[in-house]
């Protein structure tokens, strides 16, 4: 059985952003590919983004874990991460296991303004001191404010629209990536390659929207495995010292539940992406359309939710997919050691055997479904 902690340390020791490398133990190559996002107006409407000068978000490299020595492949798995991630660290063992056990390349694609698509200053404590102090003075005695969440929290507080804009830009980027792969223009893949998705946390929400919108039919044959994801937006609880502070999260929730799409002067183009996003905000809104989609797509969706996940709770998954659909596709698990949504496989646990069993259980199921 795989030793999770050992693989985590080994992979984080050899992984360097933008530097190709080889993992001897599993005979996997880590290769990087350049991507240029051409989305300068991500709104699909009239509201202009104030973030168009952040060059890191528009030109970046993404890593792919691929079996070494194999010619062009016919299948791929896209791995999507969670909200407010600043590096790939925790995802490296995930990608390695999926690659090793499916034999397919694993594409780790960063969400807009996340990981290496964000300025380094957003994750540098020295650069964040003044912002942290400002926010603590503004929200006295608010203990959810931290170095880890202050940059995103302030950005969301200034403009909650950024949540939708970031999702739209990522969705547009994935459309371009899928076209590149399926048209045979990507150096790793043959023409008409099949692309499945492993999605965690907010990456699952983004995947659900992408599958529902199905731009240009590119997602028609994709399967989706969700881990700690899949909830309706209203039931997500993103207040965390590593995600969002309480004031930012409350503003985000209030905006999308009560204001988004209800503006007196229309701000958004009501295209497929907008309509899909709207269906995922509250359980009551467009319930019939949403549940009919998940019923039609249920053979292509599987997932695992965790009992002690308070950020993406299981009841929110039931609301999103519909109880019948969710119970037939999403398995509810618990681990015999302390964990959180943000850290489902904690290195600090003393029960190493249970940690290894939990990780292998989750990712063996994902690999079997996506193989």
Q: What is the pLDDT of residues 85-143, one digit of tens each?
A: 999 999 999 999 999 999 999 999 999 999 999 999 999 999 999 999 999 999 999 99
Name the one residue in this structure whose structure tokens are 């502070």: 245
Q: Cα(224)–Cα(195) distance, rounded to whole angstroms? A: 10
Nearest to 110 by CA among 174, 40, 197, 185: 174
Q: What is the pLDDT of residues 19-53, one digit of tens each?
A: 999 999 999 999 999 999 986 554 555 445 578 88
In the sheet with 28-36, reading across from the earlier edge strand, the strands are 21-23, 28-36, 59-67, 106-108, 73-80, 189-200, 224-227, 301-306, 330-333
Q: Which residues in the chain land under pLDDT 70?
A: 39-49
Give the pLDDT of residue 70: 84
Give the pLDDT of residue 49: 58
Locate 343 and state its tokens. 């850290």
Kindly report the number of other CB atoms within 10 A of residue 285's CB atom.
15
Please answer whether residues 95 and 106 qualify as being in contact, where contact means their C-beta atoms are separated by less than 8 angstroms.
yes
CA 13 from centroid of its chain's CA atoms: 23
Give strand pairing partners of 170: none
Buried b (16+ CB within 10 A) or exposed e, 85-98: bbbbebbbbbbbbb
Nearest to 4 by CA among 365, 364, 368, 358: 358
CA 212 from centroid of its chain's CA atoms: 16
Please answer whether residues 142 and 136 qualify as being in contact, where contact means their C-beta atoms are separated by less than 8 angstroms.
yes
Beta-strand runs (E) in 283-339: 301-306, 330-333
> In angstroms, what CA-CA distances link 59 with 36, 37, 136, 180?
5, 6, 33, 16
Domains plus CATH for the chain? 4-370 (3.40.50.1820)
């Amino acid at each position: 059985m795989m030793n999770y902690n050992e693989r985590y340390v080994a992979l984080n020791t050899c992984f360097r952003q933008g530097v190709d490398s080889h993992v001897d133990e599993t005979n996997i190559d880590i290769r990087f590919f350049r991507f240029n996002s051409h989305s300068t107006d991500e709104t699909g409407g009239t509201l202009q983004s104030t973030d168009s000068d952040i060059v890191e978000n528009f030109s970046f490299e993404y890593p792919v874990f691929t079996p070494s020595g194999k010619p062009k492949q016919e299948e791929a798995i896209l791995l999507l991460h969670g909200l407010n991630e600043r590096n790939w660290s925790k995802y490296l063992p995930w990608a390695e296991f999926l690659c090793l056990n499916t034999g397919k390349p694993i594409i780790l694609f960063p969400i807009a303004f996340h990981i290496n698509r964000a300025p380094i200053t957003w994750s540098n404590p020295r650069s964040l001191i003044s912002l942290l102090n400002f926010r603590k003075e503004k929200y006295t005695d608010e203990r959810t404010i931290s170095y880890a969440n202050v940059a995103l929290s302030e950005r969301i507080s200034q403009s909650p629209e950024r949540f939708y804009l970031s999702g739209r830009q990522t969705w547009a980027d994935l459309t371009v990536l899928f076209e590149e792969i399926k048209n045979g223009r990507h150096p790793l893949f043959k023409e008409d390659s099949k692309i499945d998705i492993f999605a965690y946390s907010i990456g699952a929400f983004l995947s659900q929207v992408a599958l529902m919108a199905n731009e240009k039919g590119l997602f028609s044959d994709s399967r989706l495995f969700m881990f700690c994801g899949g909830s309706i937006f209203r039931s997500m609880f993103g207040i965390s010292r590593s995600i969002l502070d309480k004031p930012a999260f409350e503003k985000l929730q209030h905006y999308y539940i009560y204001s988004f799409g209800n503006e007196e002067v229309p701000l958004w183009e009501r295209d497929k992406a907008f309509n899909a996003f709207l269906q995922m905000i509250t359980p009551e809104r467009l319930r019939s359309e949403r549940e009919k989609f998940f019923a039609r797509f249920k053979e292509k969706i599987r997932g695992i939710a965790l009992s002690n996940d308070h950020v993406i709770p299981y009841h929110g998954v039931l609301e999103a997919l519909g109880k019948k659909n969710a119970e037939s596709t999403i398995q509810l698990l618990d681990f015999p050691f302390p964990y959180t949504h943000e850290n489902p496989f904690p290195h600090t646990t003393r029960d190493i055997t249970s940690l290894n069993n939990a990780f292998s259980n989750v990712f063996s199921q994902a690999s079997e479904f996506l193989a």
